[in-house]
Structure 1
Amino acid sequence: MGQVTAEFIGLISQPEIEKFLKDLTPSPTDLMLTKGLGLIQYHRWSDAETNLRKVIQDQPQSGTALLGLAKSLLAQNKAKDALDILKKFPSSREYNNAEVLRPLAEALIQTTPEPENPDLEAIYLRALNLIKAGKFPPALDGLLELIRQDKNFRKGQARKIVIAVLEILGEENDLTRQYRAELANILF
């Protein structure tokens, strides 16, 4: 069902009616933003990037567009570009979601092994390579196995990366619900 978005009472002039109707119609930038976010849901990362960059040209401080762009860049293994956006992210309601993505962007850029536990390190690096290739389910499987073996691996880095990948996939994705539940079972 629709919602009341605006209303008026009594007689109004022709210019007031035109302004009223104009205010109800989404702008081309708003439509482009909606399209870009929709493309993310369908994992059409490159198309989403193109649309969201157009939105950012018109609205450079749009937290929604910047977050969507960072997600699409990370999904395409453009971690440096994503990290640049995340480091300068504006204060907005999307700020916390952007902060969730930072550990993943940083990990994809700096994939140097730590010598403490070579077996777990191999799982971790393999998972990062799978993420770079856009193969999120096997990457998540590897990271969850790593967390099962060492919940504090790299000071919680594996857990943070799982959460970041789930953020990229989006709350409405069935994989997100499945892997979030599995992560909760492992941690608690």
Structure 2
Amino acid sequence: MMDILGTTAPAADLIKDVGEATFMQDVVDASMATPVIVDFWAPWCGPCKTLGPMLEAAVTKANGAVLMAKINVDENQQLAAMLAQQGLPLQSIPTVVAFYQGRPVDMFQGAVPQSEIEAFVKRLAESAGGSADGGLGDAIAAAEQMLEEGAVEDAAQTFAAVIGEDDKSAAAYAGLARAHIALGDVEQAEAVLNGAPAEISEAAEIEAARAQIELARQAANSGPLGELQAAVDADPADHQARFDLAQAMHAAGDAEGAVDALLELFRQDRDWNDGAAKTQLFTIFDALKPNDPIVLNGRRKLSSMIFA
């Protein structure tokens, strides 16, 4: 955080060890004004020892645009259990969850490259109106709203303009790709992502757009929903029919139904077709926002089956 002399605030003001007694104050309340990244870790977790310092470096570099809370799950088991009951997938660590205005808005799990961590922090800062990017974050937010409202061509032009100003903006590349998907041009969407610089090619936004391209291709080849549902009803053990039904459901806009169908397939035979159900679930999860209830509930149910 910058003071009136323009110096950087001490790391202690940006990064805190948080427990059950201080969670409401240092995470929920603090996030009402400034996004808070919560790192769930444990001393025995090898990847945590690598990820933690990388996160701290990215948060410090952001100069107060985001804060960070570190929660040792071994010392705060009751808090972790309570958050898991509320939908956070804390069955494995490291898990990193971003809170803004009192609720989870983004997350990732496992060790990720430094570039992805920096993109995560930047995206969070931009979502809160951070101005370190010269206003490009506002332009991206405006383009996202255009896309949501159906002004797809205007959104595409805005995303392209942002790329013209910042060719390392993973959010802009992903947004432009999604605009082309909405326009029905999957090939051009893929070309956009293939043209992104190598250093952002594994950013979360890019991976999400790639998942959406895969789902769009599946939608173009999906079978008739009614016939597939009838086939599953006639033979609940017909794994191929259930898998095809899930694809058809997603193509029809029923992501939750698709996830439920794939979870049932995984429950019946997790190894069917080289684990196709799990792979398809992750494709759907990647295509949605990390804090989407469909993702949070789906991951929790899948984890309970895996570790049962």
Measure how far apart 1:55 and its partner are: 1.9
Contact kept? 1:33, 1:65, Cα under 8 Å: yes
Measure how far apart 1:46 and its partner are: 3.9
Higher helix share: 1
* C-alpha separation in 1, matches of 2:178 and 2:185: 10
Measure how far apart 1:82 and its partner are: 4.0
Measure how far apart 1:66 and its partner are: 2.2
Measure how far apart 1:147 and its partner are: 1.4
* C-alpha separation in 2, matches of 1:124 and 1:105: 18
Distance 1:163 1:72, change over 3 A: farther
Distance 1:68 1:58, change over 3 A: closer
Measure how far apart 1:141 and its partner are: 0.5
The answer to whether the aligner puts 1:90 opposite 2:197 as a matched pair is yes
Measure how far apart 1:178 and its partner are: 1.0
Measure how far apart 1:31 and its partner are: 0.8
Match of 2:260 among 141, 159, 169: 141
Contact kept? 2:211, 2:284, Cα under 8 Å: no
Distance 1:96 1:8, change over 3 A: closer
Measure how far apart 1:130 and its partner are: 1.6
* C-alpha separation in 1, matches of 2:210 and 2:273: 15
Match for 1:34: what amino acid?
A: A
Measure how far apart 1:122 and its partner are: 1.2
Match for 1:54: what amino acid?
A: T
* C-alpha separation in 2, matches of 1:135 and 1:76: 20
Match of 2:138 among 25, 31, 35: 31
Distance 1:66 1:26, change over 3 A: closer
Map residues 122-161 of structure 1 onto 2, 5 A cutoff. 122-161=241-280
The residue aligned with 1:67 is: 174
Contact kept? 1:73, 1:82, Cα under 8 Å: yes
The answer to whether the aligner puts 1:56 opposite 2:160 as a matched pair is yes
Match for 1:162: what amino acid?
A: L
Match of 2:148 among 19, 44, 47: 44
Distance 1:44 1:104, change over 3 A: closer
RMSD: 3.9
What count of residue pairs does the alignment treat as equivalent?
Answer: 166
For structure 1, the residue ranges without an aligned partner over 5 or more in a row are 10-23
The answer to whether the aligner puts 1:105 opposite 2:224 as a matched pair is no
Task: Give the alignment's TM-score, normalised by structure 1.
Answer: 0.63
* C-alpha separation in 2, matches of 1:101 and 1:25: 25
For structure 2, the residue ranges without an aligned partner over 5 or more in a row are 8-130, 224-236
* C-alpha separation in 2, matches of 1:7 and 1:180: 46
Match for 1:178: what amino acid?
A: N
Measure how far apart 1:102 and its partner are: 4.1
Contact kept? 1:63, 1:93, Cα under 8 Å: yes
Question: Which 10-residue stretch deviates more, 169-178 or 57-66?
Answer: 57-66
Higher strand share: 2
Task: Give the alignment's TM-score, normalised by structure 2.
Answer: 0.42
Q: Whose RCO is larger (CA < 8 A, sep 6+)?
A: 1
